[in-house]
Structures are given as structure tokens and as C-alpha cells.
Amino acid sequence: MQPGEFDGIRTRLAGLDGGELHAEAFVAAVHVQRPPGVFRQPGGDCALLDRPAARCRLQRTAGLDGLPASCRNFPRSVVRTPDGDEAAFSLACPTAAAIVAAHPAAFGWAPARWPTDAYPPHRVVHDRVQAARGADWNWLEFRDLREAWWQVIAQANSAERLAAALAGMMRNPLRAAPAAPEAVPWDALGAAWSPSQVRAVTEGLARLPDTGVDHRGRQRARWAAWMGPSPARAWIDAAQAWAPLVACHTGLVLQQAFVHDELPVGAAVVRAARLAAALPRALAFAMGDPQAERDALIAVAHLARGDAAALR
């Protein structure tokens, strides 16, 4: 929850019929931090989940307006920019990942089909944007760079060209320009996943409701491949087989890192490129299975959580 939400929700619940009991249950469900807080997850479930009814107890009691912004919006991440509200989608959500896996498309904008006040922004981006340490840009410079990188990705019509585009993002993040395929640093694109990243991926997949803990055993056989370098040929083969999905994913993570993760622009471009480069490694085990393709997207979403410092 964001600052102020904990007290606001507790006050709202206390004002309902039987409010003190509702408020006490809410307080007990939250692990209070600074800022508060995070919902406790005994056994991997949110403490406020009524699993038999597949419902959130807080929403049932206080309504949609009674939820914290992160709960109300998920899997949307909503940001207010000088151009209006912008939503990105977390592929850690199985439903969002399944939709993207089934219908990969070039990145584009779509008008919101919901009341904008139903999904409040997580944060606000103002006219000045940090480009790198000690330097900032105005919003138009930032927006133009993002659009230019999307164009580079969209025009990468082969796995080699996509690899070159990702390499360019890593080498010169503040200057969007296509790179030559022969200049690809394969050691960077095929970088090994750290043990903490593999742990985050495995734990994230183990929580999927349709596959559950069976995933832990299935993933164990892949750990050695994930934690070793990926040969250039294997990366190209996987990226070629799933080119539309990799390009679509790259556009999404670029949007997420740029605006929604609050990173300086240069660091955001590099982070997006590294996450995009990780997808072919995960897809190499999909073998045309739609569920496995979805799981690959979810895996890379959890990869970012496993070792955020390494991705910066």
C-alpha cells in the first residue's frame, strides 16, 4: 500500500456496520512496514482472500473504492503523465501473460475502456524526467526517445536484428539507433541468471493456480540451463521461433521500465533490454505449448523481482 492508504482503509471499514470487526481483520491481515504495508500471504494466499468463494473479503466489505490502488489496478500499473494517464500490464499476472502469449502484436496505444477514476495512478510523472545521474530531460525528449526505441524494435525483422536492437539499447541507451548484427555482445544477451533470480522464477511459477507446486519439480531440470550462459545459436533459434512474442514483450517491458519503475531513463532502457533478452532462454523450453509460452512470460516478470540490482 502507498502512504496514507492503510489509515484510510481502516477508517472506512470502522464506519461500516460491524466496522470494528472489519477493521480489526484488516489490520491483522497487513504486515506493517514503512510505508505500510504488505498483505500477509500465509501459504501464498493473500490473508484477505476467501478462497472457497474466490473473492476478496476487503472488496466484498468496502467495495472497489475500499481497495488499495495496487489491488484495484492489478495487473495494471497506472501512471499520470503530461500526456494523460498511461497503463502498463504486469506479465506476472497469468491472465495478462496468457493474452499476450496468445495474441502477440507490435506495441501500440489503445484508448482506455474503463472510467479513469476507477483506477487511480500509482504515481505522477512531471515535465522533468531524470535521464541519468545528475542530468534530466523534459517530457518531450523522454517521449521521443521511447518512441524511437519502439521503432527500432518494431523494424527488427529477424532474430539477428532484434538481438542487435537489444545490444544497442544496452550500449547506448540514451540514443536510439539500430546496431549491426555482427556487433551483438552475445555474452550480455545470453547472460546467466543468478541463483536468486532462478529462485524467484521458480517460486512465482509454483504459485500458479492451474499447475501449482508441480512447477517446482519441472523447473528444477532447467536450473542448470538458466544459470549458465546461453549460446548465441540457441538464443537466435528461440528468438526466431517466437519473434512476434519477443518483440511484443520488449515493447511492454520498455514501457514498464521507462515510466512505471521510476528508473533514470538510461538505466530503464538497459533494464528493459536485459529482461527482453532473457525471454528466449525461457521460451526455449516451451516447444509450442501455449501454457509454457505463458509461463515463460511470467518467469521473466518474476526474474526482475529476483535480482533487481543486477538488472540495473
Helix (H, G, I), strand (E, B) or coil at 40: coil
* Gap between the Cα atoms of 132 and 140, Å rounded: 16
pLDDT value at residue 97:
92
Residues 6+ apart with CB under 8 A from 93: 74, 75
pLDDT value at residue 309:
45
Digit-by-digit pLDDT tens for the chain (312 residues) are 877 888 888 888 888 877 778 888 888 888 877 666 788 888 778 888 888 888 898 998 888 888 888 888 888 888 888 988 888 888 888 899 999 999 988 777 888 776 667 788 878 888 888 888 778 889 899 889 989 998 998 888 888 888 899 999 988 999 998 778 777 877 778 888 888 888 888 888 877 777 666 666 677 777 777 787 777 888 888 888 888 888 888 888 888 877 777 788 888 888 889 888 989 888 877 777 888 889 889 988 888 777 554 444
212, three cell numbers: 501449482
Helix (H, G, I), strand (E, B) or coil at 85: strand
**Domain coordinates of the chain in residue numbers?**
5-73, 128-311
pLDDT value at residue 311:
43
Residues 6+ apart with CB under 8 A from 275: 253, 257, 300, 303, 304, 311
pLDDT value at residue 149:
92
pLDDT digits (tens, 9 = 90+) for 223-255: 777 787 777 888 888 888 888 888 888 888 888
* Gap between the Cα atoms of 251 and 247, Å rounded: 6
Q: What is the pTM of this model?
A: 0.81
Radius of gyration of the chain from Cα atoms? 21
pLDDT digits (tens, 9 = 90+) for 178-207: 778 777 877 778 888 888 888 888 888 877
